[in-house]
Amino acid sequence: MVTPASRGSSVARNAAIVGAAFILSRILGLVREIVIAAQFGTSADYDAYVAAFRVPDLLFLVVMSGAFGSAFIPVFGGMLARQDSANAWRLASSILSYTLVILGVVALVTMLLANQFINWFIAPGLAPEQAELAARLTRILLLSPLLLGLGAAFKGMLEAQDQFALSAYAPVFYNIGIVVGAVVLAPTWGVYGLAAGVIAGAVMHAGIQAVGLWRGGMRLRFSLDRHVPGLATVLRLMGPRILGQAAFQVNFIVLTNFASRIGDNSVSALNYAF
């Protein structure tokens, strides 16, 4: 039986874990920016990298990080609280499967049209060779929203079961991957090494949380069942959140578009300023 005292102790412990992880992640985020600046500065290659990140960021932050967390997790957690774990995991499987299929299709289309996205919408002011580099990097970085999306879903599932440690420290591993990419890989591979670090960090971000769910009895499977209890509620909640997140993220695309027209290395400078 959970007593008020034990519940209070659990809340305090989880708050301490999340707080410590947040501070560490922010410190590593600052280190990440420092090492990237030391390696690339304001340069043509880093302009291309920043432009390449815009579509993957939009996909992840709109669909998975924002909409998934605010729409799915409350419904999933409510089912677990009512001891309806069978339907909770059915819902999780269905939502995650649909989301990954949709993200996969969008990512594939974006890979095929990466040059057009860069030249027409994201950074039309880049030089032709920069735009081509940005398109190639976009195709690589499109793996990250799929991996980070899985990580965001796993985070919510873990936290709904009162398991906060792995989800709290997952962003730390993501930043470590990028730092390693900038310090170890970039001197040899250039900006491709930085992109490889992003993918490695995203793999670790999702992987450590998947291990926690698996050990806790995760019952996810691929399912496109449209008749799962709670699915309609989740979809109804996702709509407004997706629109809100999309409007916010489009601002960054517009700013990158303008910066690319100003002059050499303006995209890099604007990104550091943020």
- CA-CA distance, 260 to 274, in Å (whole number)? 16
- CA-CA distance, 120 to 125, in Å (whole number)? 9
Q: How confident is the model at residue 145 (pLDDT cuts 50, 70, 90)?
A: confident
43, 138, 141, 178 from 261: Cα distances, Å: 15, 20, 23, 28
Condensed to tens digits (0 to 9), the pLDDT of residues 62-101 reads: 766 556 667 888 888 899 888 888 999 999 899 888 888 8
Query: Among 81, 217, 71, which Cα is nearest to 153's?
Result: 71
56, 96, 115, 229, 234 from 239: Cα distances, Å: 20, 16, 29, 18, 9
**pTM across the whole model:** 0.91
Q: How far apart are the first and last CA of the chain?
A: 48
Domain boundary assignment for the chain: 43-273
Provide mean pLDDT across the span 200-226: 90
Q: Are 170 and 205 in contact (CB under 8 A)?
A: yes
DSSP string spanning 68-126?
IIIIIHHHHHHHHHTT-HHHHHHHHHHHHHHHHHHHHHHHHHHHHTHHHIIIIII-TTS
Provide mean pLDDT across the span 155-171: 88
42: helix, strand or coil? coil
Q: Which two tokens stand for residue 179?
A: 């730092």
- CA-CA distance, 69 to 130, in Å (whole number)? 35
- CA-CA distance, 124 to 134, in Å (whole number)? 11
State the chain's mean pLDDT as an integer.
Answer: 88
